[in-house]
Structure 1
Amino acid sequence: MADRLPQIYTWTGLFILTGAVLGMVHIPRQQDFYVLLAFYIPAFAAYIWLYRQAAEDHLLFYLAAAVIIRLLLLPAIPNLSDDIYRFIWDGRLINAGLNPFDHLPGYYLEEGHRVPGLTADLFARLNSPEYFTIYPPVAQAVFATASWLFPHSITGATLVIRAVLIAAEAGTLIFLPRVLQGWGMPPKRALLYAFNPLVIVEISGNLHFEGVMVLMFVAGLRWLQIGRINTAALAMAGAVAAKLVPLMFFPLFIRRLYAAGRWPVVFRFFGICGAALLVFFTPLLNGVFFRNIGQSLGLYFHQFEFNAGLYYIARWIGYQVAGYNQIAWIGPRLAILSAGFILLLAALERGKDWKSLPEIAMWSLLAYLACGTTIHPWYTIMLLFLSLFTRWRFPVVWTGLIMLTYIHYLNGAFKENYWVIGIEYGGVLVAILIEIFGRPRRALQR
């Protein structure tokens, strides 16, 4: 009986995690916070339990189970995010031979500009029709493929997008243990990503393209690890073409590339990466691309506010001093502050091996998130991924706490709960301080 207990506990944990994730994806809507929380708490508890008791020699079983959990989500329609409708809108535009960056969605409802499939009903489901799209070319290619395969079916197009993201997640779970093992780290740490309910729900459920970004980035790390510089450059370009976030890590590459082969290797890597990005972006480039995407990205520093950290403190001070919201002044300066911090880290850190890259990249990303005006739950996925190659586990805590931000949509009326934001950031800060000054939690560091 004693020999069977670990199996019983494992299957119980997997059953709880699977049931809770399926519940989160199928039952609560964005405004049903307490229903979502009722599923997320047992899911997160099962996640920690599964990781702590998982045996290294059964890693393949656990990784396969993580992929199966994601596959069970295939038929779902996202209920915690309405981004899918913009995905389909953009995809249908591309299939009509139009550039999704050219015009705002409302333009295509005007007489003389109508496009088959871009209906008033689909327009009504868009969450930001007054803004230009922000999705880079890899994402746009997936949208176009899904809409081409299912030109009249939202459900069918959603299934294609989800299949791509689940395949990307499966690829990540193939590369991740190999990178960990290559650096002498326990491959079991891959389970901190594989079973994380936020990762599963936000990528395979809500269809955020962090899944493709992480796949391309971990593949790039693996190829850097084994000295395949050219292939790594292509992978890193793919990561940027999926989500722009990895661009902030490129200054950290220079010293390591130089150590690998001096300036010729540096120029070769960035030359290949730049050429690949040009190929990725060329189908979308025209006279208005940079203006329109820049306008939308600028909103993240000048107008959008959600679950911010330092920005909300600065905004409160601004109200006391000037009596109004100074986001247009504060947002860009916090962005400059985070960029300056990242460049300073790149200049001062002395790491020359690729093994040290994820930790310095993690702190760079943390600075960016701390200074941001808009921090959605899925923004922490890359932070969690990078932390797997370090001793730090506060990103695990953040992925648990940041789901509390769905309370801002409670009952369908968006209103931020600053007590919850305080609990979230306070919890993360406490976790960091404990890791700095307290006894390390070895169960999660193994």
Structure 2
Amino acid sequence: MNNSVPTAAPAVDPLARFLSSAGLVSLLCYAVVLGLSFQFQYGVGHADRPIPAVLAAFLVAFVGYLVVAKAVVRAPRDRGIQPARLRLILGYALAFRLVLLPSEPIQEIDYFRYLWDGQVLAAGGNPFRYSPEQVERLGPAAPPGSDLAGMWDVANRSETVRTVFDRVHHREVPTIYPPASQVVFAAAAVATPADASLASHALVLKVLLLGFDLGTLAVLIALLRRLRLPATWCVGYAWCPLVMKELSNSAHLDAIAVFFTTVAMYLFASVPRRPASSRGRWLALGGGAFLGLGVLAKSYPLVLGPVVAGLLLARLGWRCVFPLAVCAAVVLVGYAPFYSPKHTDSGNTPVTGLGTFLGRWEMNDFLFMIVHENLRPASAGGVERWFVVTPDARREAVVIGGRAAFARAGFEVSDRQAAFLLAQGVMGLALAGVVVRLAVGTYRRPTRRTFLRAAFLTLGWAWLFTSAANPWYLLWGLPLVVFAGRRAWWLLPGLGLTYYLRFWMEYQTFDRAAAFQEARNLFDFGVVWLEYLPFFVLLAAETWWPRPRRVVARPR
């Protein structure tokens, strides 16, 4: 007789069931986006582009993402079922990305510049040396064998490459993208036959960027485990619809810098407390190297310098100078080949394009817009909008003083440029104040979570203060969103997609110049309030009336 007691069948994990259902809904949303994307053909059918339908699909996916993230973060930590949950999260994360990989980039043309830069570098040229406009204007008559003639030959090496060249926007500006990203672009060019279809060129680039995207996810999981937090918290990055839109669909190069920067954050967070061990110093040096690679992929990681310095000063003492020096050395070595006299005789340098970008680009901004409009007088195109409280005479005096200061420094600028640069200065000082405060806080309490929260907030406020608040810039800090400390920050990746409404509003008035400008103004000075205010209202509410916080892990 068998006296053994039968064991109960294991209970079904309700969170796993919920993840499966939510994942299927999100997958359906991305399948809808895939189908709609093919209506976004370059240069045609602007008024018929289904931008509202695409945004509706992303909205459904984003609401599901927020619900899933809340459920995952609040779920009890049952180690026995964590692996199954993680497999579900990662499986769906990969599926989301693969569904959108063959999609037509939606309202995106930056990748033409990436493809062109890659063709130039792969052919041995310097993409920083000449702008596409210079190549088109001077290339046909350039001396045979010159770099300019070589770039003109590259532009005409195949019908596809010529199409890429013709579609590069802001043609008068040399590339703004740093050397590490250029290497990735060149790898895509080498891996794709010149006469392959344009879709094939874009797909190869997307696959390379997908590798960096998935690498970021892997490093994030390692970081969470280092802090003894559930690896399932990676859902904050893994399932975010903004990642699907801006990487898998739009092929933004930010995936490269985000990967290198996340590796750097992992290595810095792994540095033990003093007294510094040999292992800790090597981790810090590695972090410095990867932070340098991040700067070589896109310049934004520079803003993390003070927070990193605060952590390393607290943990390594005076030895913190070495990883910071390694970071600087990596950046200098990366740029050095492009700074030879031969490569700067055109009047352009590797930072010419970046300087142009910082000196005139304004898009989807809010805080910068408010400051700028309160500095810009009527002589510089200023308008008495309802939120402008500075008298025009005061604005005029400030701009005149600014122009005089720029003139003394050797720069002649117009009233319009002076107002813009002064606004940049104000926002730069505001960001500096935030970063210094976060750096000091990290130094005084150099725990891993304090450091990672400070790093996230640095990148988050950098986006809020910028004049060009493109939604894909929110990817910079997204891997660290679980350390944000305020739920309001989770809203920004969804709110940022409001940016795409501007194009739809413009397209409805393409044939009427006055109405077209009115549509732009309605978005730039009206809709952006609806984009940003929910975030600031919730952030203020959480700051002034904080809820009791659950203890999720001991600071380390």
User: Letter of the aligned partner of 2:195 in structure 1?
Assistant: H
Match of 1:132 in 2: 174
Q: Say if 1:25 and 1:80, in contact at 8 Å, map to a contact too.
A: no
Match of 2:531 in 1: 424
Shift of 1:143: 0.8
Match of 2:244 in 1: 200
Counterpart of 2:177 in 1: which secondary structure? coil
User: Letter of the aligned partner of 2:88 in structure 1?
Assistant: F
Instruction: Tell me how far apart the structure 2 counterparts of residues 380 and 303 of structure 1 sit (CA, whole Å).
Output: 20
Normalising by structure 1, we get a TM-score of 0.90
Shift of 1:64: 2.8
CA spacing shift, 1:366–1:372, aligned 2, 3 Å: same
Please list every run of 5 or more consecutive structure 1 residues that lacks an aligned counterpart in the other structure.
none
Counterpart of 1:80 in 2: which secondary structure? coil
1:364 maps onto 2:449 in alignment: no
- Map 1:338-417; keep pairs closer than 5 Å: 338-342=430-434, 344-345=436-437, 348-349=440-441, 350-410=444-504, 412=507, 413=510, 415=520, 417=523
Q: Which has the larger radius of gyration?
A: 2
Match of 2:122 in 1: 95
The number of equivalent residue pairs is: 444
- Map 1:1-400; keep pairs closer than 5 Å: 3=12, 9-28=18-37, 29=40, 32-54=50-72, 57=82, 58-109=85-136, 110-112=139-141, 113=149, 114-118=152-156, 121-150=163-192, 151-153=194-196, 154-226=198-270, 227=280, 228-263=283-318, 265-287=319-341, 291-319=348-376, 324-325=381-382, 326=416, 327-342=419-434, 344-345=436-437, 348-349=440-441, 350-400=444-494
Shift of 1:394: 1.8
Q: Say if 1:25 and 1:201, in contact at 8 Å, map to a contact too.
A: no
Counterpart of 1:391 in 2: which secondary structure? coil
Counterpart of 1:318 in 2: which secondary structure? coil
Instruction: Tell me how far apart the structure 2 counterparts of residues 6 and 330 of structure 1 sit (CA, whole Å).
Output: 51
User: Letter of the aligned partner of 1:306 in structure 2?
Assistant: M
Match of 2:399 in 1: none
Counterpart of 2:153 in 1: which secondary structure? coil
Q: Deviations over 1:222-242 (max 9, x none)?
A: 222333222222221121111
CA spacing shift, 1:141–1:213, aligned 2, 3 Å: same
Aligned-pair Cα RMSD in Å: 2.9
Further displaced range: 237-246 or 413-422 = 413-422
Normalising by structure 2, we get a TM-score of 0.73
Q: Say if 1:303 and 1:328, in contact at 8 Å, map to a contact too.
A: yes
User: Letter of the aligned partner of 2:209 in structure 1?
Assistant: L
Instruction: Tell me how far apart the structure 2 counterparts of residues 394 and 4 of structure 1 sit (CA, whole Å).
Output: 29
Q: Say if 2:188 and 2:208, in contact at 8 Å, map to a contact too.
A: no
Q: Deviations over 1:341-399 (max 9, x none)?
A: 25532664223334322222233333322322110011112233333223222221111
The sequence identity of aligned pairs, in percent, is 23
Shift of 1:319: 4.3
User: Letter of the aligned partner of 2:365 in structure 1?
Assistant: A
Counterpart of 2:60 in 1: which secondary structure? helix
Shift of 1:5: 6.4
Shift of 1:279: 3.1
